[in-house]
Amino acid sequence: MIDPAHSIPGTTVPTISEKPVAHLTGQYGEADKFDFRRYWHSFLERIWIVAICVLAGLFLALGNLARTPKLYQAHTVLDVEFEEPSFVPTSDYATRTRSMFLASGEALRTIEQNLTNPTLLARVVRSEGLAQDGGRAFLGQSVVANKSSSATEHTEPSQAANKTQNASGVTTFTPLEDALGRAMVGMVHPATRRGTRLIDLYVTHGDPAMAQRLAEAVGREYIRNSIERRASSSEDALRYLLEEEERLKRNLQKSEAAVTEYKAKNPDALQLGGGTAATGSKGDGGGSRGGLVEDNLQDINGKLTAAKADQIRLEGQLQQVDQIGNNIDALLAIPSISTAPMVATARSSIIQIEAGITTLALRYKDKHPRMMAAKASLAEAKDKLRQAVLAQPAIMRNAIEQSKATQASLQQALQAQQGVAVNLNRTAIGYQELARQAETDRALYESVLRQIKDTNLAKDVKANAVSVIEHSPLPNFPVSPRPTRTILLGLLGGLAAGLAFVFGIDALDRSIKTVDQAESTLGLPVFAAVPDTTDEGPVSRLKRRSKAFRSSNYRVVVETPESPAAEAFRNLRAALSLLGPEAERKVSLFTSAVPNEGKSFTSANYSLALAQQGYRVLLIDGDLRRPNMHRIFRFPNARNNSDEDSAPGVTDCLVGEADVASAARQIPAGEIQLVDESIELTENILAATGGQLFVLAGGRRAPNPAEILAGPFFGQLIAKAATMFDRVVIDSAPILAVSDTLLMMPHVQTVCIVIRAAKTPRPAVRRAITLLAKSGIRPAGLVLNRLRRSRGVGYYYYYASHGYGKDEGAYSRGYSYHRRSKPDHEGNGA
């Protein structure tokens, strides 16, 4: 019973108003940053899985090494030239095309692919005699050949390699040779060196001597096969060319006979020129298709054209003379007159006389006889020039008449020659056709003769573009298996599988494990991180089944005040005290998203921590469906320990059958006897130091808790309790399980959500926060409960002291207790 005398004077009922909901946009966003510490400790937590996977990888690698046979690899280097060596200078199109192909990168890749051709490898089997013993030596069975037999295998089979041919000349192989050749495909590995024309030929076999032998044989057989294919091609080409030579020779003889016969029948064809094989473009006389006839025709035509041009020129100049008249100076400007011989002579004489007069004028005067004689000669010369100029028009008229007569003669000759040319052209039509055919046949015949000569010389040349420049030594060490590499790959594979498994589990885990994860995921601060009290040490099954032990285990603040769990609740007390003024944080409610998160455990210890600080505290068991507080505190005035729900509690207060003063029970500082023989508390335990703790249990079971809480009585109960106590702590039901807690929201001031670490799903907590926000309350923060403290999960880093100040008497003066052995706690799961 509550003594009214202990009520705090001056205490007023706080106004329980609905708080505004804070903006929650983005509060549920996952942190995108890579948390290395989280993955590192997740690795440490499940390192045993990684170790098992690594060991499994090691055993698999060792098993693979034990089962895998040893393989040896022989190495031969082939060189590919830009063109095939030839002792016969050729310039035919086929040779140029092959040289261009050999110079390309496609040639190297083609040769590389041909080295693994099953037909080529079957030739190797036959040339090396690998099928003679049924393939036992090739397959690694116990067959050892001596040197003489080995030499025989290298020579005799190679000579007989080309004897087994079908009717078409194609080499055929026995089924065994073909099967061994196909089996060798997986042993041969050619590879072109980058930036070079070298091909590395690798052959792998279980016998090092056989690997060396096969590597040499493959390169040698490829070169031999290339030479044989080239010789075969040359023989086929020579055979074809000889047949063509006979045919072209007969055609040429027929063409030349036709030309000769045509000339005999048409004598005019002899004038065409070009001899027997004339084509019209070449001739003995250098003429065109008409020979001399066409040359004469062109000559006459040129003369006629020149005569007409001369006549036109003279007629034009004569017309100018008629217009000028007797003006000597103007007449001298006409080219035909100025260039006339008589005029040119007269003008030269005048120039000489004038030069003499100029010289005499330097010595004599005008009246000097010599001067006068010179002037008389000048006058006479000018008169001759005048007469010569005036005589030129008549000369020009005579020249025009002569030109006309010449043109008439040339015109007649031209017409006659044109008639001859027309007749010759008629004759040349048939002749030119026969001559062209004869010339074409001759060119083809001469070309085939040259090719026959070159092919006949080149078919016996044993040259090839591919050559062996580095022979294979005997391999001494196996290339497979590689123990170090195989073991490392096994270890790395096991490590990768273990890491994938560990991180896959971590990625699929939807629970909240750390304080940072809770704050970044839910957008709310974490007030306290309570470690798992079941990690305190080994506890026997008898202890865990003890009802007295389980009830005392809930009160870690009292039972183990120096433990990290007790310190976590003192941190919770300090964090909630800093949220705001005291009048606004008197009524606190602890809830959870789902059951078994530890909300009752948190409410009880938080209330004890407040009482230890000197407050008068009322702890209300608001979970009307599954009340637990009467079991945690084991009220001494209960009528029957097995039926404590019959005591008055919250339900009785809400239905009006009891009030807070009569239903709330004070936790006494009396004795708590534990019947377990391993733990016995013989002295008083003070539940509070200077404070008081009252518990209002759930009371009898209510048939309709939601309807009772929806009425006005719960608000009146909280308001009355707030006037009688310094702090009111409510333990409520899970939010997602029932709606009882949401009905309490309008009457509380501070809401804390309890989350069980590594168990509670994040979506459930988000849903609970959303429901609280819709009811008008934003949770003040979170309590992360049951954080494991085992090795490997240190990244849960609950911010509490791990025994800091333990055994120094920090909490030994407020109460005294004696216990035979330290109890093991497991109660923070309720």
Q: Per-residue pLDDT tens for 616-634?
A: 999 999 999 988 888 888 7
* Residue predicted with more confidence, 145 or 699: 699
> Does residue 541 lie in a domain region?
yes
d(CA 624, CA 672): 27
Once rounded to an integer, what is the mean pLDDT over residues 59-88? Answer: 84
Task: State the residue for tokens 């899970």.
Answer: 734
Q: For the chain, give the percent of residues with pLDDT over 70.
A: 73
Q: For the chain, give the percent of residues with pLDDT over 90.
A: 31
Task: State the residue for tokens 């080409």.
Answer: 237
How many domains would you assign to the chain?
A: 3
Are 575 and 486 members of one domain?
no
Once rounded to an integer, what is the mean pLDDT over residues 435-439? Answer: 86
Range of lowest pLDDT (243-257, 474-488, 750-764): 243-257
Are 545 and 444 members of one domain?
no
> Does residue 451 lie in a domain region?
yes
pLDDT value at 404 more than 70: yes
pLDDT value at 493 more than 80: yes
d(CA 573, CA 605): 10
> Does residue 32 lie in a domain region?
no
Helices 47-67 and 483-508, packing angle to 10 deg: 150
d(CA 107, CA 86): 19
The three-class DSSP label of residue 532 is coil
pLDDT value at 5 more than 60: no
Are 425 and 564 members of one domain?
no
Residue 433 dihedral angles phi and psi, to the nearest 5°: -65, -45
pLDDT, tens only, 438-478 = 888 889 888 888 888 877 776 666 677 888 999 999 999 99
Is the CA virtual torsion 344, 346, 349, 350 positive or negative? Answer: negative
Amino acid 201: pLDDT:
94
Q: Identify the domain boundary among 458, 473, 498.
A: 458
Are 735 and 602 members of one domain?
yes
| CB neighbour list of residue 432: distance below 8 Å, 6 or more residues apart | 272, 279, 280, 289
Are 762 and 623 members of one domain?
yes
Q: Cβ–Cβ contacts within 10 Å for residue 641, how many?
A: 12
Residue 727 in contact with residue 612, Cβ under 8 Å? no
The residue among 622, 606, 588 whose CA lies nearest residue 734 is 622
pLDDT, tens only, 680-692 = 333 333 444 468 9
Amino acid 160: pLDDT:
44
Q: Can you list the positions of beta strands (E) in 461-525?
A: 466-470
d(CA 771, CA 778): 10
- Name the pLDDT band for 8 (thresholds 50, 70, 90): very low
DSSP string across 243-259: HHHHHHHHHHHHHHHHH
Q: Can you list the positions of beta strands (E) in 438-576?
A: 466-470, 526-531
**At 726, which CATH number?**
3.40.50.300
* Residue predicted with more confidence, 463 or 733: 733
Are 405 and 419 members of one domain?
yes
Q: Can you list the positions of beta strands (E) in 473-533?
A: 526-531
Once rounded to an integer, what is the mean pLDDT over residues 52-70? Answer: 92
Amino acid 735: pLDDT:
96
- With b for 16 or more beta-carbon neighbours within 10 A and e for fewer, the 493-516 pattern comes to bbeebbbeebeeebeeeeebbbbb
Q: Can you list the positions of beta strands (E) in 384-499?
A: 466-470
> Does residue 740 lie in a domain region?
yes
Are 544 and 680 members of one domain?
yes
Are 441 and 515 members of one domain?
no
| CB neighbour list of residue 392: distance below 8 Å, 6 or more residues apart | 321, 331, 336, 337, 340, 342, 343
pLDDT value at 218 more than 90: yes
> Does residue 5 lie in a domain region?
no
> Does residue 8 lie in a domain region?
no
- Report the chain's C-alpha Rg in angstroms: 63
Highest mean pLDDT among 162-166, 269-273, 509-513, 569-573: 569-573
Q: Output DSSP code: residue 809.
A: T
Amino acid 302: pLDDT:
85
Amino acid identity, residue 741?
A: T
pLDDT, tens only, 231-258 = 777 788 888 888 888 888 888 888 888 8
| Chain centroid offset of residue 220 CA | 41
Structure tokens at 752: 């804390």
Once rounded to an integer, what is the mean pLDDT over residues 81-96? Answer: 60
- Name the pLDDT band for 553 (thresholds 50, 70, 90): low
Q: Identify the domain boundary among 449, 473, 507.
A: 507
Amino acid identity, residue 95?
A: T
Q: Output DSSP code: residue 549.
A: H
> Does residue 375 lie in a domain region?
yes
- Name the pLDDT band for 514 (thresholds 50, 70, 90): confident
Residues in a beta bridge with 191: 200
Residues in a beta bridge with 620: 696, 730
- Residue 722 to residues 118, 188, 584, 585, Cα–Cα distance (Å): 97, 92, 11, 10
| CB neighbour list of residue 222: distance below 8 Å, 6 or more residues apart | 78, 111, 114, 115, 120, 466
Helices 599-612 and 564-577, packing angle to 10 deg: 70
The three-class DSSP label of residue 588 is strand
Are 359 and 381 members of one domain?
yes
- Residue 710 to residues 279, 659, 707, 735, 736, Cα–Cα distance (Å): 125, 18, 5, 15, 17
Amino acid 528: pLDDT:
95
Are 392 and 492 members of one domain?
no
d(CA 800, CA 791): 17
Amino acid identity, residue 616?
A: R
pTM exceeds cut of 0.75: no
End-to-end CA distance of the chain: give it in Å, rounded.
27
Q: Can you list the positions of beta strands (E) in 146-274?
A: 188-192, 198-205
The three-class DSSP label of residue 73 is strand
Amino acid 309: pLDDT:
85
Structure tokens at 749: 């001031």
Classify strands 616-621 and 692-696 as parallel, antiparallel or unpaired: parallel
d(CA 83, CA 173): 32
**Cis status of the peptide bond prior to 483, with omega within 30 of 0:** no
Give me the helices (H) in 88-174, please: 93-102, 105-114, 118-128, 147-159
List the strands of the sheet with 781-787, edge to edge: 526-531, 781-787, 750-756, 587-592, 727-731, 616-621, 692-696, 665-666
The three-class DSSP label of residue 621 is strand
d(CA 289, CA 434): 14
Are 434 and 375 members of one domain?
yes
Q: Which domain does 304 fall in, by range?
A: 292-458
Amino acid identity, residue 296?
A: N
Are 762 and 706 members of one domain?
yes
> Does residue 226 lie in a domain region?
no
Range of lowest pLDDT (28-32, 118-122, 205-209, 685-689): 685-689
* Residue predicted with more confidence, 567 or 700: 567
* Residue predicted with more confidence, 80 or 528: 528
| Class of residue 64 by CB neighbours under 10 A (exposed 0-12, middle 13-18, buried 19+) | middle
Residues in a beta bridge with 189: 202
